[in-house]
Structure 1
Amino acid sequence: MTGSVVSFLSADAARALERLSALEAGEAGEADAAPLDRLRGIRSLVVALEADPAALRAVRDALDAGATWDEVADAAGLSPSAAKYRWAGDDDAIAIRQEASRRRKRDRPSSAPTDLPGLSVSEAAKRLGVTPQAIYQRVNRGLLRAATVELADGRSYKRVFPDEGPAPDEGPAPDEQ
């Protein structure tokens, strides 16, 4: 099926598309594919398409035909800077950027750790019924203790300790409105 319709795809992407199509047609031995099998098929196709050089070829062809980066970005559903980051330059420059991105992702997790002491500024604000700006003001005035927690990978987080009272050596907190 995919050989003639999407001949520009790599063999891996074409196979992933064929497997997904087979699930849709019930050719996988079942009348209806299980929802998790469909999800796995969709994910396999997405991964194969992300790795497929067809997009880079299409971008280069479009640029050679006079398209602008804005037009390429619009067609790809990206911002112009994201499109340039992904596809600008020769194969070596692109490979270097991709490896640097993979290395950053390995070295720096994308989610904040959940085992930090104290509360985040937004958590403290919710608990005290004020805005995050009010928390920063209270910290600056010495009415709340806060500390910056730095992790081994270089990330740092401002943590607030509202149950501990004022910052050390600041004395009792004056009444606030």
Structure 2
Amino acid sequence: MGFLSTESARALAELMALDALDAHGADGTRGPTGTTALDRLRGIRSLIAALEADPASLAAVREALDAGASWDDVADAAGLSPSAAKYRWSGDDETIAARQEASRKRKRERPSSVPTDLPGLSVADAARQLGVTPQAIYQRVTRGLLEARTVELPDGRTYKRVFLPEA
């Protein structure tokens, strides 16, 4: 057995099988062998996901470090910055697993989009509406010419909201 996990080897084999079919379907249509462009895309994504989760990367990093490679060397080989490589692979298995779980937990608990139902205007929107820079909005708030409040959401995110006087 090679260095890849069973899941990675399976995903690679499936993608290679699609490649061997040499299907040429375009825009999701079926090619001469019955595969679609979407089948190939799914195969590519499946392989990427399997490789990202494969312990072979961590094993290779540890082997390289034991052989005298620096974090800069590891980062260069992985296409990452040295700090990102250290964050991903430094420590023992338990430390790495805890760090990954904490990252997944943060992502689950904190939505990535700004809510659209907040009161008032964002600083950028207020600046656009008044034809000034965001810095000018902050100066006007500091001088008491505009009202602004910080709105805190239940998940802890905060947003500065500006309330323009009614014309």
- When normalised by structure 1's length, the TM-score is 0.81
Equivalent position of 1:97 in the other structure? 99
Q: Structure 1: 5+ residue runs without aligned partners?
A: 166-177
Point out where structure 2 has 5 or more consecutive residues left out of the alignment. 24-29
Structure 1 residue 67: Cα displacement: 0.7
Aligned to 2:7: 12
* TM score, norm. by length of structure 2: 0.86
Alignment of 1:1-177 (within 5 A): 7-26=2-21, 30-31=31-32, 33-164=35-166
Structure 1 residues 118, 145: closer, same or farther in 2, change over 3 A? same
> Residues 130 and 91 of structure 1: is their aligned pair in 2 closer, same or farther, counting only changes over 3 Å?
same
Deviations 1:125-170 (A, max 9, x none): 22222111111111111222211110111110111122547xxxxx
**8 Å contact kept, 1:73–1:80:** yes
Overall identity of the aligned pairs, in %: 73
Query: What is the CA-CA distance between 1:27 and the residue it aligns to?
Result: 7.2
Deviation at 1:44, TM superposition (A): 1.1
Cα drift, residue 19 of structure 1: 1.6
CA–CA distance in 2 between the matches of 1:50 and 1:136? 43
Q: Secondary structure at the match of 1:47?
A: helix
Report the CA distance between 1:93 and its aligned residue: 0.7
What SS does structure 2 have at the residue aligned with 1:38? helix
Between the two proteins, the alignment pairs up a number of residues equal to 160
